[in-house]
Amino acid sequence: MDPFSPLYYLQNPIWVFDVDNKKILWANDKSLRLWEATSIEELLNRDLGQDMSAAAAATLLEYQQTFKLNKTIKTWWRFNPKQITKNMLCLFSGIPLTDGRMAMLVEVIADESSLRRDLAFSDCSNLALLFNGDGTFISSNAAFSSCYGKNLVDLSEFIGDIAIAQQWLENAKKNNSFKCNRLCWTGQRHNWFDIEAKWLNDNSQLLLQLVNVTKDKEKLNKEKYNAEHDFLTGLMNRRGISAALKASHHHRSHYSLLFLDLDGFKLVNDSYGHAAGDKLLRAVAIRLLNVVKDKGLVARFGGDEFIIQIEKRNYTTIENFTDQIIKTLSRPFHIKDIGELSISCSIGTANYPDDANNFDTLITQADMAMHRAKQRGRNCYYPFLQEMADALYRKMTLRHHLSQALENHDFELYYQPIIDLNSQQLKGFEALIRWHDELLGQVSPAEFIPLAEETGQIVPLGLWILHSACQQLAYWTQRYAQPFIISINLSRAQLQPNIAQTIEQIIRQYNVNPSQLALEITESTMLQDYCETKPCLDALAAMGIELYLDDFGTGYSSLSQLHELPISTVKLDQSFIQGEHSSNKVIIEATKAICDKLNLKIVAEGVETQAQLNYINQCGFDYCQGYFFSRPLPVYELEEKYFHTPEMSMAAQS
């Protein structure tokens, strides 16, 4: 009785192969066409070992060991019946013979879905190479020979390194097998292979079973390239230059990192469109590459920002190198369909390892230095200084604590008296915000107010000041019945169309007389976006609120506009009062004359000495404030000093 007869009626080609004797022991009739056989008898009489390579034979012997573990193997196998090459997806499994040996059951898979799924591997798997104990090439299987020929000499030629070849042999002998991935020479070209190496103890040979993964590797390399390069300019991006520095010798050499930002690039985009801006960025990239050449690396950080890395041995001084870049980019660019465009750049530099020993920190430092270059007038370079990092850390800490202080109401209002020089009486107080932080201590308004304006926190902070000052004014008015004015500083961000409505609600809430409230606004704030600001100021003045022009002389006044604004009082900046240069007196007297002509009252800020007081009295100033009379005081001190008697004379104040 035929022991394999139950397999006969399977629809796929199937046969039993005697691995030891290289003969087919049994086959179904579906196998005849695959083997180009005229009959089953003729097929069983063939000696398949006659044309089988040593590598293929060794591979089948390895398969036998797999079968003993009750495992199957699914792989593409190349057949050459009567010199006709056929590539079939096969399922190999072990089948015991009556004499106790293990044969191989081969089934050719004919399911279309399986074929489609595995087709991608048909030309890159089931490759085998056989080497002897000293690495000499013995043989390749038909699949390898068909793809790459039989031109190999030895293992070291295949993997491209004599020392590594020796390591492979020793590793295989010691551990029986290992796996790796490597770019190898096939005798015709280089290819990437996933390699499984096995040591054949019986013959002292090394068998390499290979899968060609070149396409996958190339795809990964392409994806890696795209991920590390800027699509627009072709330069490396931040990720790319970081990887390049880590992968090269640069991390062992002293180098400078330049952070470059184009000046005026936004104007190009706004004027000519983003297409023109893209052309300009590509032109900038070309010029930077021409300057740097092989001395370093160039990358586009993003937008109109670029990064340059250059080793210190490749330039004389960083000043000369940055000057060369600035001059190169200052030359006009000819942009097709646009004409000539001119730009400049600002550059910040940081040094490895003097300033930092990692790329990300260097980028941050060079960026800080670049912004300092912007502040110093642009079209220049500036080196990183440690004080910049300290200032940034302080700023970040302040920003965080400022948010918490807003939530916890950690601010306090101090009040500084304003004196009426004509009546020798108290005109009122200026409300000044103070902040004491548990960790940071007393934080100056000169430090946290600009930060609040930058972050937008000035709006809720300003609203808190308005509420607090009006509430305090209402309390003092009710208790002491003194007709004085409290002035409050207003920021540009608060001058929104609804500001008058907001302040009117606050006044009503605390039952404050609008005539007792003054708002101090700087001249730059008043004149910035003049057309939008003027309606806001007119609405506030219509409510009966006084408007003070603060820090006069420090901004860019336009008298033709100032006289159209509903201002009642000008506050001359303290720098003129305290200055000793003769020109200060000229400015003081000229300001007084202008205010007289415009029918404006005038306040002298920062009066600290009797001589200063005498001079402004001589000039005919209306009001003054300063440390000569009083520093800004908290509420309890101010009440003790000014509200303990009905009379608040100038003598009592001093």
Query: Comparing C-alpha atoms, which of 527, 526, 520, 525 is closest to residue 490?
Result: 520
399 has a pLDDT exceeding 70: yes
| C-alpha dihedral (537, 540, 544, 545), degrees to nearest 10 | -80
pLDDT of residue 475: 92
Whole-Å CA distances, 405 to 412, 435, 605: 11, 8, 29
Query: Comparing C-alpha atoms, which of 323, 307, 89, 62 is closest to residue 199?
Result: 62
pLDDT of residue 118: 44
Buried b (16+ CB within 10 A) or exposed e, 215-244: eebeeeeeeeeeebbbeebebbbbebbbbb
Handedness of CA 390, 393, 397, 399 (dihedral sign): positive
Where helices occur in 519-581 by DSSP H, the ranges are: 523-527, 530-542, 559-562, 574-578
pLDDT of residue 119: 41
Q: Does residue 535 have a cis peptide bond before it, meaning omega lies within 30 degrees of 0?
A: no
DSSP assignments along 60-118, one per residue: HHHHHHHHTTT--EEEEEEE-GGG--EEEEEEEEEEE-TTS-EEEEEEE---HHHHHHH
Element (H, E) at 335: strand 333-335
- What average pLDDT is seen over the chain? 87
Output 16 or 151, whichever has higher pLDDT.
16
pLDDT of residue 76: 79
116 has a pLDDT exceeding 50: no
Rounded to an integer, the average pLDDT of 45-59 is: 87
Q: What is the amino acid identity at position 304? A: D
Output 243 or 551, whichever has higher pLDDT.
243
559 has a pLDDT exceeding 80: no
- For residue 554, name the pLDDT band (cuts at 50, 70, 90): low
- What tokens does 496 get? 């929104």
DSSP SS3 for 471:
helix
Share of the chain above pLDDT 70, in %: 92
Measured from the Cβ of residue 607, the count of other Cβ atoms closer than 10 Å reads 24
pLDDT digits (tens, 9 = 90+) for 129-173: 989 999 999 888 877 888 888 888 899 999 988 989 999 999 999
Element (H, E) at 197: strand 190-200
Whole-Å CA distances, 229 to 168, 244, 257: 36, 11, 18
Q: Which of 106-115, 264-273, 274-283, 508-517 has the lowest mean pLDDT?
A: 106-115
Task: Give 229's DSSP letter.
Answer: B
Ranked by mean pLDDT, the top range of 177-186, 342-351, 592-601 is 342-351
pLDDT digits (tens, 9 = 90+) for 340-386: 999 999 999 999 999 998 889 999 999 999 999 999 999 999 999 99
Q: Which residues contact residue 598 at a Cβ distance below 8 angstroms, ignoring those fewer than 6 apart? A: 562, 563
434 has a pLDDT exceeding 90: yes
* Inter-residue contact 159 to 184 (CB < 8 Å): yes
pLDDT digits (tens, 9 = 90+) for 250-276: 556 899 999 999 999 999 999 999 999
Strand partners, 182: 193
For 579-641, give the secondary structure using H, E and C. CCCHHHHHHHHHHHHHHHHCCCEEEECCCCCHHHHHHHHHHCCCEECCCCCCCCECHHHHHHH
573 phi-psi bin (left φ>0, alpha ψ -120 to 50, beta other): beta
pLDDT of residue 647: 44
187 has a pLDDT exceeding 90: no
- For residue 126, name the pLDDT band (cuts at 50, 70, 90): confident
CA separation for the pair 458, 494 (Å, rounded): 8
CA separation for the pair 244, 261 (Å, rounded): 22
Handedness of CA 455, 460, 464, 466 (dihedral sign): positive
**Is the overall model pTM greater than 0.85, yes or no?**
no
DSSP SS3 for 491:
coil
pLDDT of residue 560: 60
Q: Which of 122-131, 261-270, 304-313, 531-540 has the lowest mean pLDDT?
A: 122-131
* Inter-residue contact 645 to 652 (CB < 8 Å): yes
Query: Among all chains, which residue has been given the structure tokens 């690396």?
Result: 297
Output 654 or 334, whichever has higher pLDDT.
334
Rounded to an integer, the average pLDDT of 427-450 is: 92
Strands 517-522, 546-552: pairing is: parallel
